Amino acid sequence: MTVIDGKKIAADIRAELKKKIEKLKTEGNNVPGLVAVLVGEDPASKVYVGMKQKACDEVGLLSKVERLSADTTEKELLMLIDKYNNDNSFHGILVQLPLPKHIDEDAIIEAILPEKDVDGFHPVNIGNMMIGKETLYPCTPHGVVELLKRYNIETKGKHVVVVGRSNIVGKPVANMLLQKKEGANAVVTVVHSAAENLAYFTKQADILIAAIGVPLFIKADMVKEGVVVIDVGVNRVDDSTAKKGYKLVGDVDFENVSKKASYITPVPGGVGPMTIAMLLSNTFKSFNKLNVKNN
């Protein structure tokens, strides 16, 4: 059994990007720019934005954080997005979700130029992904696919079972893996809470992707020997022995499922670090596309 080291792969991707950005600077070129917009005081969102800014600084990206109060109106936020849509110094715009309830998240996502939508949530980018066109992919699903590629895990003709159908992970990762291209071309089943016997499907998986948001949901008796397990879940569970009073666990019972798996991602340290790495990668991709377009 091999534990898939998402921290290492994410560090490799950041190092690759850093080299490319240093080359741009040496040649006297502009560098990719990413602006993150944080509305309100959600503690988790503040942590995520801080991590993203730190990663930008590490690789040499131009980064900026716009911190707005929780009572910012939807109109004010739309005006800010429009400003950055027209600012050629910034190639990626990220609005940290969730937003306060009075702001329509869909309206905000759709206001970002598709070419600057480095989260990969804009309907244009989702549509391009669906039909197999090159685009800005949602970061967590993209990170899952990249992990499989970098560990040389064969996907062609393999049965991938995705547990969960969210717009952020389940649906996009299923679509990415069924495309007729290298690193995909899998036979994909999406299973969710409506299934009468969910284990019937998970036991068939050559590659199981758990993204259901339920702590330790996938047990050893729900998978077959030799399965590849990608655990996207990040759940807080109370733990009186931990310094913070809680610990992070995935959607998979790692301790027991790992005994049957050929490859498995841990939580933390598996898929999580890949999300920010792919955000940086998307920003670099957007920078290249926009430079071609504007020249």
- Residue 243 has a pLDDT of 85
Give me the pLDDT at residue 293, please.
67
Cα separation values, 277 from 79, 189, 266, Å: 28, 27, 17
Model confidence at 295, in pLDDT bands (50, 70, 90)?
A: low
Is 119 catalytic? The answer is: yes
> Which residue has tokens 């792969």?
9
Q: Classify residue 214: in a domain, yes or no.
A: yes
| Annotation says 12 is catalytic | no
Number of domains in the chain: 2
Q: Catalytic residue among 5, 116, 117, 119, which?
A: 119
Question: Do 148 and 192 reside in the same domain of the chain?
Answer: yes
Q: Which two tokens stand for residue 156?
A: 């062609």
Q: Out of 5, 52, 206, 251, which one is annotated catalytic?
A: 52
Q: Is the pTM of this model over 0.85?
A: yes
Same domain, 98 and 210: no
Domain co-membership, 101 together with 183: no
Please check the confidence at residue 292 and state whether its pLDDT lies above 80.
Answer: no
For residue 91, the domain's CATH number is 3.40.50.10860
Q: Is 204 among the domain residues?
A: yes
Q: Are residues 148 and 105 in the same domain?
A: no
Same domain, 169 and 219: yes
- 206 or 291, which is more confident? 206
Whether the Cβ atoms of residue 6 and residue 271 lie closer than 8 Å to each other:
yes
Residues 104 and 144 in one domain: no
Residue 61 inside a domain? The answer is yes
| 213-263 confidence digits (pLDDT tens) | 999 999 999 999 999 999 999 998 988 888 888 889 999 999 999 999 999
Amino acid at 132: G
**Tens digit of each residue's pLDDT (9 = 90 or more) over 91-131:** 999 999 999 999 999 999 999 999 999 999 999 999 999 99
Considering the domain architecture, whether residues 92 and 215 belong to the same structural domain is answered as no
* Burial letters 127-165, b for 16+ CB under 10 A, else e: ebbeeeeebbbbbbbbbbbbbbebeebebeebebbbbbb
- Domain holding 80, by residue range, is 27-113
225 DSSP 8-state letter: T
Q: Which amino acid, 130?
A: M
Residue 88 lies in a domain: yes
Same domain, 144 and 265: yes
Task: Evaluate whether residue 143 is within a structural domain.
Answer: yes
User: Is 83 an active-site residue?
Assistant: no
Same domain, 235 and 170: yes
